[in-house]
Amino acid sequence: MTKPLVCLLTLAASLAAQGQFYLKNGDRVVFYGDSITDQRLYTTFVESYAVTRFPEMDVAFVHSGWGGDRVSGGGGGLIDTRLSRDVYAYHPTVMTVMLGMNDGSYRTFDQPIFDEFAGGYRHIVTSVKTAVPGIRMTLIEPSPYDDVTRPPTFEGGYNQVLVRYGQFIKDLAARESLDFADLNTYVVAALQKAQALDAAKAPDLIKDRVHPGPGGHLLMAAALLKAWGAPALVSSVEIDGASASGKNSAVTDLTAQNGTLRWKQTDKSLPMPLDFQDAGIALALKSSDFVDTLDREMLRVSGLAAPAYVLSVDGEKIGTFSREELAAGINLAPLPTPMLRQALAVHALTLKHNNLHFACWRQIEIPLENDSLGRVGDTMAAVDALENELIAKQRSAAQPKPHDFVLAPAPQ
């Protein structure tokens, strides 16, 4: 094993062990890629995770995917045009690159096609490192072509070609002392489990074998977040009799009367904004370890006398739990709490500001760049200002609030 690869693996292990998230206050992240990045789904899941899990952290996100892109560029221009206009212009401190789905040409492995891809990818890395010294780059193994829920179109299947491309990307990241995320292996494993759980719905995770639905993109986001050392903890509260303690949470005003516990709780983070009613999201969660490894909002209560208890937050019934379940700990993150509703409102603003940026970029900046129109600059500045308003609203909406908890014996 080469020394750079050892260093890279050691860094990843250290991040995971220490719970240190890859993104830092003041970072500017550009997501670069083809149509899968252009969908603005795995990227917005990652953004909303960062904003809700670290609400005091100031990180900017820009999505620069373009459908059909290869390492040489595509419909948005040649690669150097794309990098200059869609990456360097934003002065990023962090950049992710996910390319390869189109570069393999959807056929069996072909050495000349691969050599073109490899040369083009090296050019991207060299160009970015030269233009933006000190940038932290995460090279991403392409998300899978679905050969799991449908038969491969040729022997071995196209995803095996992408895996070979991904191995090149991993080796390149090691040689260049860059970071790496595998968005293939984790998603394939989830596809295999989903196929076993529900063969009729499993293909919906990647409906056309290439472009994932929300559930598939959530799995991709999970793989990237894991590579970035994202912590599982939202908050953790433990109550035993008259005492309470919290991690990433403050508990006050704890009282016990007639077997009913009441307290005020203010977490420092929000749960992951997930629509648990969405069939694709639900299947993705059942088929992966997302909740256990990235979304733990724990409540443990011991010393209870009654067999079962009703938990309410801000006067809303959340659920009924046995004494044993509460002693072991329940995860509030997947439950219909006011905290989850707040997080979902944050994610809605994430989508709005990214869609606004996309509209300005693709419908004003590029189509009109050669028309010598005097108002283009002013219009773009106005749209940028509007997007900044949305981002400010998003960050404000992500600030956690105090909530009133009541745990009362369930009626017999």
Task: Give mean pLDDT, residues 229-233.
Answer: 98
Collapsing DSSP to helix, strand or coil, 72 comes out as coil
pLDDT tens digits, one per residue of 312-345: 999 999 999 999 999 999 999 999 999 999 999 9
Sign of CA dihedral 246, 250, 256, 261: negative
pLDDT category at 19 given cuts 50, 70, 90 is low
Distance of alpha carbon 221 from alpha carbon 37, whole angstroms: 11
pLDDT category at 242 given cuts 50, 70, 90 is confident
- Is 0.75 surpassed by the pTM of this model? yes
Instruction: State percent of the chain over pLDDT 70.
Output: 95
Bigger pLDDT: 283 or 5? 283
Distance of alpha carbon 337 from alpha carbon 398, whole angstroms: 15
For residue 19, give both structure tokens. 């719970």
Q: Cα 50 from chain centroid?
A: 8
DSSP structural state of residue 182: E
Least confident range of 124-133, 239-248, 335-344: 239-248
* Alpha-carbon distances, residue 209 vs 147, 173, 185, 206, 212 (angstroms): 7, 27, 15, 5, 8
Task: Give mean pLDDT, residues 180-197.
Answer: 98
Q: How many CB atoms lie within 10 A of CB 227?
A: 21
pLDDT tens digits, one per residue of 113-122: 999 999 999 9
pLDDT tens digits, one per residue of 40-84: 999 999 999 999 999 999 999 999 999 999 999 999 999 999 999
Distance of alpha carbon 155 from alpha carbon 137, whole angstroms: 34
Q: Where in the chain is the domain with CATH 3.40.50.1110?
A: 3-227
Predicted confidence (pLDDT) at residue 160 exceeds the cutoff of 70: yes
Radius of gyration of the chain measured on its C-alpha atoms: 23
Predicted confidence (pLDDT) at residue 5 exceeds the cutoff of 60: no
* Type of residue numbered 379: T
Predicted confidence (pLDDT) at residue 10 exceeds the cutoff of 50: no
| Sequence-distant contacts of 86-91: CB under 8 A, at least 24 apart | 86/30, 86/32, 86/361, 87/30, 87/32, 87/128, 87/132, 88/131, 88/132, 90/28, 90/30, 90/60, 90/62, 91/28, 91/132
Query: What are the residues facing 97 on neighbouring strands?
Result: 32, 139
Task: Give mean pLDDT, residues 272-288.
Answer: 96
Our CA angle for 143, 67, 111, nearest 5°, is 60
Placement of tokens 């996910």 in the chain: 98
DSSP string, 98-142: E--TTTTTTSS--HHHHHHHHHHHHHHHHHHHHHSTT-EEEEEEP
Task: Give mean pLDDT, residues 262-275.
Answer: 98
Distance of alpha carbon 234 from alpha carbon 333, whole angstroms: 8
Distance of alpha carbon 60 from alpha carbon 43, whole angstroms: 12
Distance, first Cα to last Cα, the chain = 63
DSSP string, 277-300: TSHHHHHHHHTSSHHHHH-EEEEE
* Helix, strand, coil percent content, the chain, rounded in steps of 5: 45, 20, 35
Distance of alpha carbon 117 from alpha carbon 106, whole angstroms: 13
What topology does CATH give the domain 3-227?
A: Rossmann fold (3.40.50)
Report the greatest alpha carbon distance in the chain.
77
State the number of CA atoms in the 13 A half-sphere of 186 facing the CB: 26
pLDDT of residue 257: 94
Collapsing DSSP to helix, strand or coil, 360 comes out as helix
Collapsing DSSP to helix, strand or coil, 399 comes out as coil
